[in-house]
Amino acid sequence: MYEYELTNACLKLLRDSFKLQKDETVVITVDTKSNQEVAEATAEAAVILGAKPVVINIKAPRGNGKAGDPDLPIETLVGAIKGADAWVEYNYEWLFYSTVYDRAMEENKELKYMCLVGATPEMIINNIGKIDIPVLADLIHKVTDVTEEAVHVKITSPSGSDVEFDNKKGREFGVADGLVEKGIAKMLIGQIGWAPEFETINGVIVADGSINPPCGIVDAPVKIYVENGKVVNVEGGQSAQEFYQWMKSFDDPNMFNVAHLCYGLGPYAQLTGEVCEDERVWGCVEWGFGNIGACLTIPDIPEGIPAASHSDVICLNSSVWLDGVQFLDEGKVVGPNEEIVALARQLGK
């Protein structure tokens, strides 16, 4: 199913995003819960480009990030990955934020990496194959610029989100523009992420899309109350209880830290319960909790703020104000300038 379209999208990924060259090595990691068809199509695309693919399939670990460390063949994975030119991660129980990820990126400063965890053929086709990458990249960079310039940000949603914070000058933004650079972790195109000044984050974040891990698509809106950058209470239905108990289960107070937030700007992204695509649903805001990796987004905390694991929650149809000027109105781009609005309309949004 989708054989032609999938191969084309994977070729576009390696050729246009990774700029993979003849004789370069690309490691493709999956686990036993991953979609194997995507991995095989990516390996085929690498061969078409004259590159050398290596597919590594491991037993799915017990959890994501460092929560899965006890089950990972750490030395073997680090050795293989750090020796490659490029790394495409399709793991369902993701290696991102794990010790394997931390070490591989640290020990090979020129490694090209993209996080495509839990990828399915539909996700790759919708979010790479169908995308007008230059137009979307232009929009993403312009939105990044205006957000980075803002001092104060307010976010609401129809489900009840109402949270405010200040940006921390000097913290770089994670710009998922479709171009994979050496030594920098890149996400699937269609997202802008950053870490604000944590202690200024106050309000309620309402997840009405998904929470991953541990829930997937939520059964009812989950209200997450935040004071000074830390979760102080969670309310809602079964998903709320599952999320709160999951965070508590690690017996790690850092699991209650707000780690980052992101805009979702994927024109064809669908809410599926899989975090990689859910984060890109157009007009959503995604919030991360738990582990804050040692990455470029927080150069003032170069070692990061470690936690046992990490979770991402999706708030649909968000409204965003940057220093009082509106950018999103319930998921629709309405500002803060005509150029950004025009680019969104060019993408059909």
d(CA 112, CA 14): 11
Domain ranges of the chain: 3-128, 131-346
Which single residue is written with the structure tokens 């805009």? 263
Q: How many CB atoms lie within 10 A of CB 133?
A: 15
CATH of domain 3-128: 3.40.1830.10
Spatial CA neighbour of 118 closest among 86, 100, 93: 93
pLDDT values of the chain reduced to their tens digit, one per residue, 349 residues: 678 999 999 999 999 999 999 999 999 999 999 999 999 999 999 999 999 999 999 999 999 889 899 999 999 999 999 999 999 999 999 999 899 999 999 999 999 999 999 999 999 999 999 998 889 999 999 999 999 999 999 999 999 999 999 999 989 898 999 999 999 889 899 999 999 999 999 999 999 999 999 999 999 999 999 999 999 999 999 999 999 999 999 999 999 999 999 999 999 999 999 888 999 999 999 999 998 875 556 778 877 889 999 999 999 999 999 999 999 999 999 999 999 999 999 999 9
d(CA 134, CA 345): 14
d(CA 195, CA 190): 17
What sections of 13-165 are H helices per DSSP?
36-48, 74-82, 99-107, 121-124, 133-149
Strand order in the sheet with 202-207: 230-235, 222-227, 202-207, 162-166, 152-156, 319-322, 325-329, 332-333
